[in-house]
Structure 1
């Protein structure tokens, strides 16, 4: 057990060292000066976001509770991985403080981490409901608040900042048994525009992205009807969300603020009747 622990610690060290010292292979030589922190970056949409920013040579750090996938993503991309359970306020804050100490600041914060848990209303306990909020919603406030505290304490004001919160189309539409998830995403939707106003003086824009159906694995196993029901003619991919994150972080796009951007292939605009 001890040997295995030491091996894991060494792997984490190597992954972090790579992020600080080595550019991602096959990218341009120009290093982007904007520093990026992503929650839940080991898998799915989060991993696509990590890859997208590293391909543009941004310095990237991410956290996740999935150690195996986190280390693999760090190895593939050169991003720095931190093993964190975002339900733990102290662990999440300590992670951000370590990154700020190393970099001096965080320019781009992407709150992506979350869980999709659904259960019948009568079988969902209050504790179940609280747990979903503690994973999906509460960390968005924790990270945004800490970044605001850091920025406010600086002698020289920064004139660039981005916060992007990954919401969901379920903030405005639901299925039975989705109370906790819908509430958490609705909270992110509202928290986003509140943060946009609170952080305006610090030149930090805050926007959210609401993905629709984004298939994160085994895309090739989808049925033709899965694709054709979308006005865009296909199910979404994680890269669709990652590209919007890059777009929002361009310096000239600072006039997009307090918004929620839906990326769902047109599904929420489609009227559906049973024939």
Structure 2
């Protein structure tokens, strides 16, 4: 898949999955804008891409702030004249008992994970609709929208909301040739995979824990300009875990 002459914005791109996604697009020929609240890490990620011959800039963006999001896309258009792909990857979790989770913590998770996803998509779409070919938006949901561990209420709610927002915006923006899809990752190890136990891998029907490049490839697929029939979908990438029946002895 080639993204030559395409301009891609990735939020939460300073590290982990977001950085891997940004690197994958750059390798495929895109001009990439890495957005994150972590300035040092984000700037280093963009510099690394440029060192490898790619085109990339870093823009500081706190996705809790509407003005920051608006300025992100203004900067992108000023630098690269257009926007073709947006990957809404920025997110945060709070693992806390529902008896103790404060309304401020709840709001922070929902604002970072969901509200920013809507605001960024809205601002990106304003520019994408001007393109002859439209554009593509990929939102990062989670298998926790469908299954949970204790004390994950805010995170689960936010990811469930992202899946719903995805199909709603796919319908609303389809007339402008803007496709909107989401990805629900399972266990994606962003650290040292070699430190995982054999049992960690063995519990997955795929035989292994996921890595960031598994998600990067999915982003490329969902935003490939040739895949015009793919919109409104939630692509689950979890090594088969959500299809596995688990019973305790």
TM-score bracket relative to the smaller structure: over 0.9
Q: In the alignment, what sits opposite 1:53?
A: 25
Is residue 149 of structure 2 the alignment partner of residue 172 of structure 1? Answer: no
Rounded to whole Å, the distance in 2 between the matches of 1:31 and 1:169 is 28
Equivalent residues in 2 for 1:207-218, closer than 5 Å: 207-218=181-192
Tell me how far 1:149 sits from its aligned partner: 2.8
Rounded to whole Å, the distance in 2 between the matches of 1:149 and 1:52 is 25
Cα distance, 1:217–1:107 mapped onto 2, change above 3 Å? same
Alignment partner for residue 194 of structure 2, among 188, 196, 220?
220
Q: Secondary structure at the match of 1:262?
A: strand
Does the 8 A contact of 1:160 with 1:251 survive in 2?
no
Rounded to whole Å, the distance in 2 between the matches of 1:62 and 1:170 is 26
Rounded to whole Å, the distance in 1 between the matches of 2:98 and 2:168 is 29
Does the 8 A contact of 1:38 with 1:62 survive in 2?
yes
Rounded to whole Å, the distance in 2 between the matches of 1:180 and 1:240 is 26
Tell me how far 1:229 sits from its aligned partner: 0.1
Q: In the alignment, what sits opposite 1:115?
A: 92
Rounded to whole Å, the distance in 1 between the matches of 2:57 and 2:121 is 20
State the Cα deviation string for residues 12-31 of structure 1 (Å, max 9, x = none). Answer: xxxxxxxxxxxxxxxxxx97
Q: In the alignment, what sits opposite 1:37?
A: 9
Tell me how far 1:147 sits from its aligned partner: 2.1
Does the 8 A contact of 2:6 with 2:84 survive in 1?
yes
Q: Which deviates more, 73-82 or 162-171? A: 73-82
State the Cα deviation string for residues 4-62 of structure 1 (Å, max 9, x = none). Answer: xxxxxxxxxxxxxxxxxxxxxxxxxx970111001010100000001101111110001
The structure with the larger Rg is: 1
Does the 8 A contact of 2:84 with 2:128 survive in 1?
no
Cα distance, 1:120–1:201 mapped onto 2, change above 3 Å? same
Alignment partner for residue 101 of structure 1, among 64, 78, 101?
78
Is residue 223 of structure 2 the alignment partner of residue 246 of structure 1? Answer: no
Does the 8 A contact of 1:158 with 1:202 survive in 2?
no
Unmatched tracts of structure 2, length 5 or more: 51-55
Q: In the alignment, what sits opposite 1:198?
A: 172
State the Cα deviation string for residues 173-213 of structure 1 (Å, max 9, x = none). Answer: 11111110011101100000000001011101100000000
Q: Which deviates more, 98-107 or 213-222? A: 98-107
Q: Secondary structure at the match of 1:117?
A: coil
Q: Secondary structure at the match of 1:162?
A: strand
Q: CA RMSD in A?
A: 1.3
Does the 8 A contact of 2:204 with 2:240 survive in 1?
yes
Tell me how far 1:260 sits from its aligned partner: 0.1
Equivalent residues in 2 for 1:78-89, closer than 5 Å: 78=50, 79-89=56-66
Aligned residue pair count: 243
Q: Which deviates more, 36-45 or 62-71? A: 62-71
Alignment partner for residue 188 of structure 1, among 138, 143, 162?
162
Q: In the alignment, what sits opposite 1:16?
A: none
Q: In the alignment, what sits opposite 2:42?
A: 70
Q: Which deviates more, 71-80 or 44-53? A: 71-80
Cα distance, 1:150–1:252 mapped onto 2, change above 3 Å? closer
Q: Secondary structure at the match of 2:10?
A: strand
Q: Which deviates more, 243-252 or 164-173? A: 243-252
